Structure 1
């Protein structure tokens, strides 16, 4: 057996065994990559160490990646700054009169909060803490309300700005602005998929009496509520508008978002100077995890390229079928499976270099493929056993994950159908960037 085959086996079994043992994914990827490079480079410890360190540094030495810590910090400031409550009130004005209006409010609130924060976990925590008690007073079962919150939170991973699209842009060398615009359609498909399940099932999940009287939404109250939410929503206009106009880059827009959220929180008086050290430490901790994942995944990509693993996987799929539709279905099924046990950041860094050349040969636009990938991995963050949004949503609702998972299943089915709609109707992703002349 040649050294490339040995290195491939080390990667395969090392990652599988590490994940099965519950070792943090960054450690698993880093150690297995180091051992594989050691084998590939002739068992020389010094050369292996230098090459691994070089690949890790190269992976994180990117101006584009600076947007991620800024957006993470902006999300932390939003979470503390009282933005969630204002967005929930605005969402209630928009969809409150629909059947099951308060539940639909949860979905729209997550969509709006995710759009300004770009983080599904922050959205699930902020909106869930506001909506959970309201839905319980409305008579809805607690596990089902938690499932609604969990299912709707990842829409913000698709609707711009999105940290996940920034990572995909780095790997695929595609335009961040085009990816942001392409995510709008799939993000709305995600929200609609959740709302359709709510419309069909909300009555059977109202298990208790209503304890809140309806508040009449007069035109004056609606105008006042929407006006209070405008400063929060204006951040999307500033960030995306600045990128599209060329006034600043995605990284610079993230820095602008931090300043805007800080000023907004201080003006709302829900954020104090004493809160800043904790928010900065939390943002630094999250950033370090993301950057470590990016760095070690770069080393892993070096090993896979050296061992020709992407070519081997492509040949394996093409030996099964040469039909583009079937190939896309196979890839999406693989990505959905991967997303259940791997965070989107390392998953994108590992699997996009494998599949992107293959789909490009099939004539699929890399921007469109990016929306497919991010949508598939967004499903993963609410799917056991590793779905971090699922765990956060259950914890916010003070529940174990088992009853939440049981109510989550119809949403997962609807979201999977939404994924294949995004896959086979390219205009859902490409219409907006096409109209803006980005393709």
Structure 2
């Protein structure tokens, strides 16, 4: 097979993206067009249809709509306020206290909701009045929110890790989940370090009243049920009590019961939650199915092998190759959302990484951490735009403020890339990998 056909495939995809065609549609159309040129028409359409269906015919993927539903229930169930109050207890007396509260609340809320955008919106709306009252620069506080909200995509339960498990050929979801804790926490700590240094320079300090032990205890009790979701779901998955899909169903029941107890759920809200869940699920599953067509087309045209040969011809030094991968993914993340990037580039880069001795779990952490940075960077950074819309800050000012965060996050990415045990120590401790 002439591998130039593979380049035409990528060219057709980029051409459609330039004309603002939705990514899932661009993936499907470009793949179908290339298949039509190398196969008889009836076989091309039949193969594309089969791959579209088989791509989403996975028990593991059932976890995604249930985690989305649980996250949507929590978004509207009064969870954010309780987690923000709890975060104030933990980091509320540091310089730039509210910025640290923002980071920690994003980590907590992102982990229970599984959505960076939801965390940016919910936590941003909750904290914005207080940040403005205490005189924080709007572009700085917006940058903190945008840079830290993707941490929840690494801290389980994470739909991104489930997608990676499916597209990588069945990497253990339990191992991916437990491996995500250290990189996710490091992402949050990196943001807190930058926020601390900037807060000291600008003289931001906490102006709130010190809480009594009784108040701290009461706030912790209010937050514990929300935090309990992670313990119940992740503990059950890692302990082998239930699968990730069954854990997602339990997450729905848990979050629904919690929202009822908080009395923040009614019939109208529930209807909206179900509609939003169906819309997001439909988009994600079509995207996964379309990406399966592209993966087959790429494999058929030999594109992954061509890219692998090209990269290895540049250097056979793993350090150079991993830096090249990270640079490519950083650029990709600036223009493409995390899920389609994982679906498209995992089949290309993972064989190269494993050939050079990188464990699939380690590769997953490197890749998703990398693409999380893209969520907070222009021109397509969804978390950046959501954070700006919540705070009302001008995006050009926020871009200047977010650059130090991006620099430190890239440095942390290098640590994740070249220190495998940051990703592999916990899965090994729990006996999930050798």
TM-score (norm 1): 0.96
1:160-190: per-residue Cα shift (whole Å, max 9, x none)? 1111000111122210000001110101110
* 1:144–1:205 CA contact under 8 A, matched in 2: no
CA distance in 1, matches of 2:82, 2:311: 49
- Structure 1 residues 86 and 301 mapped into 2: Cα distance closer, same or farther (>3 Å)? same
Match of 1:326 in 2: 320
CA distance in 2, matches of 1:114, 1:317: 35
Match of 1:8 in 2: 6
Match of 1:53 in 2: 49
Give yes or no for the alignment of 1:289 onto 2:287.
no
Equivalenced residues, count:
432
CA deviation after TM superposition for structure 1 residue 203, in Å: 4.2
CA distance in 2, matches of 1:294, 1:337: 22
Q: Alignment partner for residue 189 of structure 2, among 177, 189, 192?
A: 192
Match of 1:174 in 2: 171
Match of 2:152 in 1: 156
* 2:333–2:375 CA contact under 8 A, matched in 1: yes
* Matching of residues 211-230 of structure 1 within 5 Å: 214-230=208-224
1:13-68: per-residue Cα shift (whole Å, max 9, x none)? 212222222221111111101101101103x2x22221111111111111101111
Q: Alignment partner for residue 357 of structure 1, among 344, 351, 359?
A: 351
Match of 1:434 in 2: 428
* Matching of residues 35-434 of structure 1 within 5 Å: 35-42=33-40, 44=41, 46-172=42-168, 173-205=170-202, 214-434=208-428
CA distance in 1, matches of 2:276, 2:209: 38
Q: Once structures 1 and 2 are overlaid, which stretch shifts more, 256-265 or 46-55? A: 46-55
Please give the secondary structure, in 2, of the residue aligned with 1:161. coil
* 2:178–2:238 CA contact under 8 A, matched in 1: no
CA distance in 2, matches of 1:241, 1:69: 20
* 1:140–1:205 CA contact under 8 A, matched in 2: no
CA distance in 2, matches of 1:195, 1:411: 9
* 2:161–2:173 CA contact under 8 A, matched in 1: yes
* 2:34–2:297 CA contact under 8 A, matched in 1: yes
* 1:7–1:37 CA contact under 8 A, matched in 2: no
Give yes or no for the alignment of 1:33 onto 2:31.
yes
* 1:139–1:206 CA contact under 8 A, matched in 2: no
* 1:10–1:35 CA contact under 8 A, matched in 2: no
CA deviation after TM superposition for structure 1 residue 9, in Å: 3.3
CA deviation after TM superposition for structure 1 residue 103, in Å: 1.1
CA distance in 2, matches of 1:342, 1:40: 28
Which consecutive unaligned segments of at least 5 residues does structure 1 have?
none
* 2:3–2:306 CA contact under 8 A, matched in 1: no
CA deviation after TM superposition for structure 1 residue 205, in Å: 4.9
* 2:304–2:348 CA contact under 8 A, matched in 1: yes
Superposed CA RMSD? 1.4
* 2:80–2:122 CA contact under 8 A, matched in 1: yes
CA deviation after TM superposition for structure 1 residue 372, in Å: 0.4
Q: Once structures 1 and 2 are overlaid, which stretch shifts more, 308-317 or 350-359? A: 350-359
1:59-81: per-residue Cα shift (whole Å, max 9, x none)? 11111011111111111111100
CA distance in 1, matches of 2:267, 2:8: 49
Match of 1:21 in 2: 19
CA distance in 2, matches of 1:280, 1:390: 26
CA distance in 2, matches of 1:383, 1:40: 38
1:377-423: per-residue Cα shift (whole Å, max 9, x none)? 11111111111111111111123422221211111111111100111
TM-score (norm 2): 0.97
* 2:103–2:188 CA contact under 8 A, matched in 1: yes
Which consecutive unaligned segments of at least 5 residues does structure 2 have?
none
